[in-house]
């Protein structure tokens, strides 16, 4: 039986160009399922993406889509949201795109609390350009630019988003598909800057360098090392090893969003309609 | 057999995720690198393969009894 989420894909573009076993496809499905769950109008939803493997997703999704400059997806999305606040704007970005090239745009998007839903596909590597270490490559993991293991400490994008002022911060993985869908759906519900980090596997660039070339093994790694937030909080510190990470909803607060604040200014200044 | 497995073969890239997560060893990857059903009777229609297929190539439905 044909699945209902298929209507959100540009059928003539599939199969997608991602490598066999790439987690991006799973996360893209989770996004469209969250959109379907929330009943968003296909003509009132805009997908904005930057550059990178993850950002190719906008090309496969049957909405109004925008494939923008490297790291600049959030500024483009801010413009769309301010020009027409009734649109639902979803930003698709990768770990390099969001935290390296677009790092400043990301923190200022959080700070302004623009009503966007940002889904970060974290595959821990620059996949498209040949497996260079990104700011989210875990310390000691190998990459083509870090053959002895990365010495840099990696970003925790969720903590970064929370500190910068995002009002909805969550993390999930490509293994926990239904959980990921729920997290994205929650982000769509939140009026303000919603940030969801989706950990996904890159068997080709990250896996082969780190003895996990089998995509199923990478997903089993997620299954074994992801700890739900509630359980994580009770976990004693000695059990919080380097590999383990928490998933779930980390932060949710309601604050005035940017479009509302801007509209107040428009009214004070005489109103756009007069 | 209680389930109906639909495979969209042109989409399959043979990554083996469905094979690894199938609890009943229903699936395998053939010599051309595409998924195939090897033990259809064992399928319990749990949908683990469909859930995690990154290429939307496999679909499992519970068979409706006529």
CATH number of the domain bearing residue B15: 3.30.70.20
pLDDT for res B1 = 66
User: A164 pLDDT band (50/70/90 cuts)?
Assistant: very high
Please check whether residue B21 touches A, CB under 8 A.
yes
Query: How close does chain A come to B23, measured CA to CA in Å?
Result: 13
Name the token pair of B29: 């990857």
Preferred mutation among B54, B56, B59, B61 to probe A, highest tally of A CBs within 10 A: B54
Among the partner residues A1, A6, A219, nearest to B52 by beta-carbon distance: A219
- The alpha helices in chain B, defined as continuous H runs, are 17-21, 48-52
Q: What is the mean pLDDT of residues A214-242?
A: 92
User: B21 pLDDT band (50/70/90 cuts)?
Assistant: very high
**Count of pairs with CB atoms under 8 A, one residue in A, one in B:** 62
Please check whether residue B24 touches A, CB under 8 A.
no
Q: What is the mean pLDDT of residues A89-105?
A: 95
Angle between helices A177-189 and A24-38 (to 10 degrees): 50
pLDDT for res A229 = 94
CA distance B49 to A226: 20
Q: Which domain holds residue B7?
A: 3-62
Q: What is the ipTM of this complex?
A: 0.93
pLDDT for res B66 = 61
Angle (nearest 5°) at CA A192 between A188 and A195? 65
Res. A185: pLDDT tops 90: yes
- Cβ distance A18 to B51 less than 8 Å, yes or no, reads no
Of the candidates A161, A183, A159, the one whose C-alpha atom is nearest the C-alpha of residue A171 is A183
User: A176 pLDDT band (50/70/90 cuts)?
Assistant: very high
Q: What is the mean pLDDT of residues A159-165?
A: 96
pLDDT digit string (tens) for A36-45? Answer: 999 999 999 9
Interface of A with B in 113-172 (CB under 8 A): none
pLDDT digit string (tens) for A8-51? Answer: 999 999 899 999 999 999 999 999 999 999 999 999 999 999 99
Query: How close does chain A come to B2, measured CA to CA in Å?
Result: 15
Please check whether residue B3 touches A, CB under 8 A.
no
Q: What is the mean pLDDT of residues B27-49?
A: 93
Among the partner residues B14, B21, B55, nearest to A25 by beta-carbon distance: B55
CA distance B15 to B54: 9
- Cβ distance B10 to A15 less than 8 Å, yes or no, reads yes
Res. A274: pLDDT tops 60: no
Please check whether residue B9 touches A, CB under 8 A.
no
Among the partner residues A20, A29, A219, nearest to B14 by beta-carbon distance: A20
CA distance A56 to A16: 9
Q: Give the total number of structural domains in chain B.
A: 1
Please check whether residue A17 touches B, CB under 8 A.
no
Res. A221: pLDDT tops 80: yes
Q: What is the mean pLDDT of residues A203-215?
A: 93
A217 contact residues in B (CB cutoff 8 A): 20
The fold for domain A22-264 equals: Rossmann fold (3.40.50)
Cα dist. A69→A49, A73, A117, A127, B17 in Å? 8, 7, 18, 17, 33
CA distance B48 to A141: 29
Interface of B with A in 25-54 (CB under 8 A): 51-54
Domain-by-domain residue ranges, chain A? Answer: 22-264
Q: What is the mean pLDDT of residues A117-137?
A: 94
Cα dist. A261→A191, A255, A256, A268 in Å? 12, 10, 7, 11
User: A191 pLDDT band (50/70/90 cuts)?
Assistant: very high
pLDDT digit string (tens) for B47-59? Answer: 999 999 999 999 9
């Amino acid at each position: 039986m044909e699945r209902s989420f298929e209507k959100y894909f540009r059928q003539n573009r599939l199969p997608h160009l991602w490598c066999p076993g790439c987690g991006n496809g799973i996360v893209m499905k989770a996004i469209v399922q969250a959109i379907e769950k929330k009943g968003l109008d296909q003509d009132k939803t805009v997908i904005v993406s930057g550059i990178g493997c993850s950002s190719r997703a906008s090309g496969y999704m049957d909405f109004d889509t925008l494939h923008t400059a490297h790291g600049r997806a959030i500024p483009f999305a801010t413009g769309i949201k301010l020009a027409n606040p009734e649109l639902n704007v979803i930003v698709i970005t990768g770990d390099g795109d969001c935290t390296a090239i677009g790092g400043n745009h990301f923190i200022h998007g959080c700070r302004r609390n623009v009503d966007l839903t940002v889904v970060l596909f974290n595959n821990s590597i620059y996949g498209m350009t040949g497996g260079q270490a990104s700011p989210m490559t875990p310390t000691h993991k190998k990459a083509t630019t870090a053959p002895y293991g990365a010495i840099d400490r990696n970003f925790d994008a969720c903590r970064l988003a929370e500190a910068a002022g995002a009002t909805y911060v969550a993390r999930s993985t490509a293994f926990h598909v239904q959980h990921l869908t729920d997290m994205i759906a929650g982000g769509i519900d939140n009026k303000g800057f919603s940030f969801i980090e989706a950990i996904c596997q890159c068997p080709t660039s990250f896996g082969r360098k780190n003895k996990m070339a089998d995509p199923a093994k990478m997903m089993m790694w997620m299954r074994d090392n992801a700890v739900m937030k509630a359980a994580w909080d009770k976990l004693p510190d000695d059990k919080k090893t380097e590999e383990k990470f928490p998933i779930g909803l980390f932060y949710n607060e309601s604050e005035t969003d940017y479009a509302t604040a801007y509209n107040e200014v428009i009214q004070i200044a005489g109103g756009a309609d007069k | 057999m209680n389930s109906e497995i639909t495979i969209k073969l042109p989409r399959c890239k043979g990554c083996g995720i469905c094979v690894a997560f199938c609890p009943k060893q229903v699936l395998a990857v053939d010599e051309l690198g595409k998924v195939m059903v090897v033990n259809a009777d064992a399928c319990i229609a749990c949908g683990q393969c469909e859930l995690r297929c990154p290429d939307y190539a496999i679909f499992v439905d519970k068979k409706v009894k006529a």
